[in-house]
Structure formats: structure tokens, C-alpha cells
Amino acid sequence: MSFLISSSPHDHSRLDTATLMRRVCYCLLPGIAMQWWFFGWGTLIQIALAVVTAYGAEALVLRLRRRRLTTLRDNSALLTALLIGIALPPLAPWWLVVIGTAFAIIVAKQLYGGLGQNLFNPAMVAYVLLLVSFPLPMTSWLPPLELQPYPLTLADSLSAVFTGFTLDGFSPHQLRELADGTTMATPLDTLKTGLTQGLTSGEILSSPVFGGLAGVGWQWVNLAYLAGGLGLLRLRLISWPIPVAMLAGLFLFSLVGFLISPDGTAGPLMHLFSGATMLGAFFIATDPVSAATTFRGRLIYGLLIGLLVYLIRTFGGFPDAIAFAVLLANMTVPMIDSLTKPQTYGASR
């Protein structure tokens, strides 16, 4: 018999890493389908580019490190690619997703030693890199298709991604202005910009980009990722403390802020069902490598992310905050785990 010692992530089930990662990818499908329905073919194009880049970059690094290419079968590169592809605007230029995905695999993952060794979530590292380096294309989200007077076909989306213009010569910036007359396409972006211009939240919510809950399209995308997240819990692929603590914390902090200043902040439902909230709570914050490991630590970790999301969205310079909040919380994991480490049985207090 041989005794094998391997690095984290460790999962208390009989699933191997490849199966676990593949099932997480399956749980992403409802949210991906909803993004395609509301935002068009661009989302699937970004995912395809990310997947090709992720496997190519991982194969290159494994070859340089003289490791077996069989590691590609663990599906970790696929999951990272999916998270990056759905996080980028559908009509972002092709080179943006290639740079981000290559950076995530080569630097944020393999440079630290590969799966189980990375200190930070690779997909979020890539997202922050792109957002800081290329803020304009990273914030060029189009409104949902039902608010766009110009329908986008698959050919239009391909042309916009690879050339910067649709077949009829429209750029993503022009498509946004045709849709709503402004350059603020996402609900969180519209809300933050309107508040800085002195408008009340009630006046801002009259914009056509807002639906009955938290934004046309976005509320359904978040509900779809919530359904996928409940699937993760049902399959026991993740544990409940992190997503529950994050969502509860975000709800509580946003409720307090809304009660204090109802005209100057967003309500709890807006925070919960807009942006990448549900995706972050179930698929990003729960990364077993970079998240806290103890039970109490996971509750603190989730609450911290919820607090950071609210603070950055309300007082920061970016409309959404999931990536920044998760990376900042990743930095605190060693301390959280150290302070919440269970006492050894029988040890004196």
C-alpha cells in the first residue's frame, strides 16, 4: 500500500478533483444560459476564447515545468475560464479575455505552484488586473437585449468582439447610447453615477435599465446563479457558512445604510440581485483553496466579504465590488484561520 500526500483543496467526499470541478461547471450553466438570453451571443464567445486560452496557457506552463499534461484533465482551468468569460462584458475585445485568462493561469495559478497552492482566486486576480488596466472596455456592458433597438446576431457579436464594430458599423459605445441615451448600462453603474450627480435613488430607479427588482435582466441572472448555488449546496460541493454569511452580511449592512439614507443609497434587494452578487457568493467566495477553512472562520470570512462589497459599492470608485472584496478577504484568511482554529481535544485552556 502507498500513502499519498497532496496539497489542498481537500474535499470530504469520494469525488476526485476533475469530477468536483466539472459539477461546479454544470451548476454555472443556468446563469450562463440566462446571460446569453439577456445579453446575447457575446457571453458565449468570451467563454469560448477564455477556455481555449486557459487550456493553451496551462499546457504551455506544464510543459515548461516538465509536468504531465494529464493535469489538464482536472477541469480547474475550465472553471477559471468560465468565471472569467462570464465576468467580462459580452462585446469586450478578444485580446482582453486572452490577456486576463493567460494571466490567471500563468501568474495567479501556476506561478504559485498550480492547483491548491494559489493564495488568491485566479479568476478574480485576472478581473482586477483587467479592470485597473483597461477600465473603459471592462465597463462597456450593453443593456439587456430587450432595451436595445438594434438586434445583435451571432455574426454581429463576432464582428464586434474581433474588430470593434458590428456588421453595420456600430461600436459597443454607440450601441449603448442607442439603447438608453447614456453610457451607463448596468444598474449599479447607473445608480452610482446618478448619486454622484445629486439625484435621489428614487429618481434614478425610474431609468429604463431598472426593472421591478434590481435591473432588467440582471435580477434574473442573479436568480439563475442562486439556483446554481443551491445546486452546489444540494450536491455538497460547497458548505453553507460562506455564502449565507456573505449574503446575510450584505443584506444587513445595506439595510442599515438604506434606513439611514434612503435617498442616497441602494436598498438591500438592489445589492442582492444586481451585479455579480450571487455568482460571487456561491462560485467565487467559496473557492476551497483561497477561502477560510474553519467553521467560525468561514462565517467571519463571508461577513467580511459582504461588508466590503457594500462599502466599495457605496463609497468606492467602482460600481461592483465582488472581485476586490474577495481578494481583500483572501489576504485575511491566514489570520482568520489562526484565530478560529479549534482547540486540540484535551488541551488545557
pLDDT for position 82: 96
DSSP state of 281: I
pLDDT at 11: 53
**Whether the predicted pLDDT of 349 surpasses 60:** no
Q: How many angstroms separate the Cα of 116 from the Cα of each of 110, 236, 243, 290?
A: 10, 19, 21, 8
Residue 110: CB partners within 8 Å, gap ≥ 6? 58, 61, 62, 65
The model carries a pTM of: 0.88
- Which cell numbers hold the place of 233? 449546496
222 in Cβ contact with 283 (< 8 Å): no
User: Which residue is associated with the grid cell 439614507?
Assistant: 261
Closest CA to 222 of 181, 258, 194, 250: 250
Which pLDDT tens digit goes with each residue over 18-77? 899 999 999 999 999 999 999 999 999 999 999 999 999 999 998 888 888 777 888 899
152/310: higher pLDDT: 310
Question: pLDDT, tens digit, for every residue of 226-281?
Answer: 999 999 999 999 999 999 999 999 999 999 998 998 888 888 988 899 889 999 99
Chain centroid to CA 81: 11
The torsion region of residue 296 among left (phi > 0), alpha (psi -120 to 50) and beta comes to: alpha
CB 337 within 8 A of CB 294: yes
Round to whole Å and give the CA distance between 24 and 258: 34
**Banded model confidence at residue 298, pLDDT cuts 50, 70, 90:** very high
What values do phi and psi take at 176, rounded to 5?
-65, -45
pLDDT, tens digit, 9 for 90 and up, residues 175-201: 777 655 444 567 888 777 777 777 777
- Reading the block at residue 227, the C-alpha cell is 439556483
Q: How far apart are CA 302 and CA 306, in angstroms?
A: 6
Phi, psi of 265 (to 5 degrees): -140, 165
Asked if residues 95 and 103 have their Cβ atoms less than 8 Å apart, the reply is: no
Which sequence spans correspond to the domains of the chain?
Answer: 15-142+144-182, 184-338
- Decide if pLDDT at 292 tops 50: yes
pLDDT per residue as tens digits for the range 125-179: 999 999 999 988 888 888 888 777 777 889 999 999 999 888 888 788 777 776 5
